Structures are given as C-alpha cells and as structure tokens.
Chains A and B, each alone.
Chain A
C-alpha cells in the first residue's frame, strides 16, 4: 500500500440540464424536497464508540422521531447512513458495500472526530483516516464523542441541506460518488488492493441517473475490467 493523493477531476456531467417550461414544476420540486427532508430512515452502522450515544438520541429522552427520523435495519430501505466512529479497514470494506447497496438519494453522516481525520487513533495501523476519501460525506459531527444534542443538530442540518438542495446544491453529495467514481474507487483500491471490486455496478447506475461525467471513468475503473474474469460454464450435476 503506497500513499497516493488522487485529485477530483471535475464536477461536470455529460448531460445538459433540461430547462423546465412548466411553471408548476418548481413548486412540485420544492414539495418533493420538503417531503424528503421530513421523512428519513436512518441506518446506523455501529463502527465505533459513537454508537453508544445513538440509543439515547433515538429513545425517549432526545427522541429523534420528532424530527421525522427513524432507525431502519436494512440498507436498501434507508436514506441516511450514519458512520458512528472510527472505521477500521476491515469495517470500511463493509461500510462501502452497505453504502453502495443503498438507493439514491442517500446521505452519509460521519460521527466522531475519527471519521474526519483518524481522531485519537491517528497512529493506528488498523483504522482508515479520512472517510470522505472513500465515499462522499454530507455532514460531519465532530466530537469525541458528540452528545445526543450534537447528533440531532447534525441531522437537522442535513434536513435543511436536503430542503434547499436545488437552490444551494448542498445536500447532493451522493451525486458526487457517481460523478467522481474513479477518484473514490482509486482510493479504495489503494487501501484494499487492486483486485477490489464490489457487487454493485456503479457505472451503470451513473448512466441510469444521468450522472456520468469526466470523473466517472479513469485508470482506476479500467482495472475493474481487468480483474473481471469471464463467466465459466456451469458444471451440471444430477
């Protein structure tokens, strides 16, 4: 594993933005954003210490539900992925698999200082340091560990970002994963080895969402094809 600093190429997509002619469309867009921000399902991946402050935040005392946020047990039905604390390399693989399984639009919140910069485990050989090298992060909640109030504040900020997404382009970090897949994949390959690949075909998804751009392809995504081996004929047995 060698240290490599990759750079994000560009944020432009190949698709041109369509002009809306219907005046009602904007109203509908706002309404959709409003609804989205008021009903969020949260998957908390208990990667570290920060998970201990989530039960108080979820249950009677601080009560996350009044913000319209509820815990969800499967990634496929969740909107928010909470990464609660340091991510060891072994966990990071699973976090990425979980993240890719989620349906867009999806949001990532990094709780605890460790997700920002390794925190107090900065010397540790086993933990990954910057979470946003491997997946786009919407909101960081720093602290060791952040109190439930801070967690709620972070979630509130995410809600506001989602609500004002179309105006300020704040709550759409998930689009970044498709636009700059090459960058994220490159970082993942640096850490896990060249043969790293996930079951989800991100490039095909990028095409589907119309989010493929310059940064979607690159030398790192080429490696994916090199590793893929052709489907072998199935052995039949009775």
Chain B
C-alpha cells in the first residue's frame, strides 16, 4: 500500500496494540517473525509467522538420488549440520539392513560431538546478546571458529561437511588430527573459568535470565519439548542414552539437568553439556587409535542405487533436541518420502507462543534464543 492509501485503524475500547518482530530483526534468531499483541509492555498473545526459509526440502529430496540428498540434508539446520547427515544416513542404513563399520561409528560420534560444541558456543553468544552483552558473542564465535578449523581439516568443509554417506564416512582422519583435537579440548577447558566469570555467573546476565520463560516439567512434556530445554525442566532424557544409536551405549557421560526450567537453567544445561561433549571426545581420542578396520561398508554404484522398499525412523540427539528422519523407500533410486522432524519445530512455534504469553516485550527475544530455536528446521 502506498501512503495515500493508508487508512487509519479505528481504535477500539481496549488498550491492546499489535507489533511485529522480524523477519529482519536483531532480536530474532534467523529469518522468522512474531506477531505480538501487547497491553502496555506485556504480551497478551504471540503468534509466530514462519515460512521465510521454506525451500520445500522434502519435495526436493523426492526428486534427487539417494546419494545426492546427502548434499542438501545438512542445510536444514545451519548452526548444527552434522546430526542431519548422520540421521539421514542411519535411516537409509536401517532400510538397507546394513551397519556402518565400528570405526566409522566412532568417527561419526567425534563429528557429532564437535558439532554440538560448535553449536553451543554459538548459542551462548546469541543468548547473551539478547540481554545486551556482546562480548560472549565475540568469544563464542571466535572459539567456534577453532572447531570449524578442525572440521575443515578432517571433512574439507567449514560449515557443511557432507562427510557421512550411508554405510560409513567418506574419508579417514588425517594424520595428527587427534593431537590437534586434544589441544583444542585442553584450550576449551581452560576457557571454562573465563566463560563462567563473563557469562554464567555474571550478575548482569543472571538477573536478566532468571525466572524468564519458565517452563514446568508438565508443560514441557505436553508441548513436546526435547533436548536441553527438557533437561532444564528436570527430566533427564537424552536420545543418546535412552534410544542409543551408533556406539553411544559404550560411552560414559552424564546427562546434566536443572530444575527450574527458566532461561538461565537452559543455558546452564548447555554449558554442562558442552563439557560432557569434551568428556566424550576424550574417550573417543583414547579409543579410536585401537580400533582398526574399514570406514565404509560397500554400497552399490551410487548413481544407480536402488534402496529396497521399506521405512525407517532414525532419531538422534542434536544440540537442539530430538531430531528424527522418517524415510520411506518404494524400491526406487530416489526416496519416496522423507520427513524431517526438527526439534525446533516444537520449540519455535507452540512453546514460544506459550512462553511469550504474559512475558514482557524485552524478554521475548531472550526466550526465543534461550529455547535455541532454529527456524530452518520449522520451515524446511
């Protein structure tokens, strides 16, 4: 509408007014929008508006070969792409009735945990920025870049690695990689104190984050919340332990939980998880050299590769929560149907709307970042 066409909106009796946040807004994660109805500065109702990142992934995948799809699956969640590849590969492997060799499974775990560390470091910065603290963002992104350098070293890609294929992983680890990884883990652990002082125990942040976006355990279960957000409500559920895939049942790790379910609990769970990932990676470093063998099970010529008819539901724990791929094959050279269950599709729509209700407007951005919502998972 042009200015000359504007009609003044007649004011009703209520004091409520409507504002839009996003899609291009610094307080919104990614390309996403919220429509808020406000009374004063309290949100009466929040409605999400998604679809800005919609590419029709599931349609695209039906039109591409099984192997071609590996190139586009990581793009569904940009900050944490590795679980996407692994989940898709696991689903295809289940339909094929094959397993990746043991060594490949360990390498996959290594990739998954590194990706989790990168994603969490990225989130800390984002969450802190919504409360007006920008230094954690600078630190988090800089430390994440060290992880990305390692990714580049062993997969060839900085962000999207496209390292997995059904049946294993594509390449052997480069020489001296585990030492490099070990150094990085030492460095990250040495940063623990700095991060604690800067962010996790910083009163400026704690005062803002405590008591914001409180999600009770019952509500979390009702709204299908998973991952760190669920663990922040006190339920110790982790797909890695309770529905184990790869070799997670051979690893020792704790599942960090918090009881309060607010934004602060959620970021604390992520902090603890980051150090659990480091703990897991140390076990991988210790064990991996002793595991010899191939890294790939032979699959037929990928260009004329027909996966037998069947279906599989493969779940993995991504940094955001429970990620699942439902893959259906009709025996053809392309998937018949792929459904991506992104964890954020639960967090960013209904849970966000639920938590935004009654919150103050300045906390809405923080609630969204504390849920670690990833909009492309909603839109796909």
Contact = CB atoms under 8 A, between A and B. Distances in A.
Q: Does A touch B (CB under 8 Å) in the complex?
A: yes
Interface of A: 43, 45-49, 51-53, 55-56, 59-61, 73, 75, 86, 88, 90-91, 94, 98, 120-121, 123-127, 144-145, 147, 197-199, 201, 228-229, 231-232, 234-235, 237
Interface stretch (B1-9, B187-195, B225-233, B271-279): B1-9
B10 A125 contact: no
A223 to B, nearest CB: 13
B358 interface: no
B145 interface: yes
16 contacts: A47-B52, A49-B75, A49-B159, A56-B144, A75-B24, A88-B52, A88-B53, A94-B24, A120-B72, A124-B60, A125-B56, A125-B59, A126-B56, A145-B160, A197-B1, A201-B3
Contact of B55 (A52, A53, A86, A235): A86
Contacts of B78: 49, 51-52
A197 B31 CA distance: 22
Given A59-B142, A60-B138, A123-B63, A47 B31 contact: yes
A10 to B, nearest CB: 26
Contacts of B125: 55
A42 to B, nearest CB: 13
Interface centre among B7, B8, B60 (most CB of A within 10 A): B60
B23 interface: yes
Interface of B: 1-5, 7-8, 10, 23-26, 30-31, 51-56, 59-60, 63, 71-72, 75, 78-79, 122, 125, 137-138, 141-142, 144-145, 148, 158-160, 376
A229 B5 contact: yes
A80 B51 CA distance: 25
A134 to B, nearest CB: 16
Contacts, number: 101
A73 B26 contact: yes
Contact of B1 (A75, A90, A126, A199): A199
A156 B256 CA distance: 46
A49 B1 CA distance: 31
B2 A48 contact: no
B23 to A, nearest CB: 6
Contacts of B23: 91, 94
B86 to A, nearest CB: 19
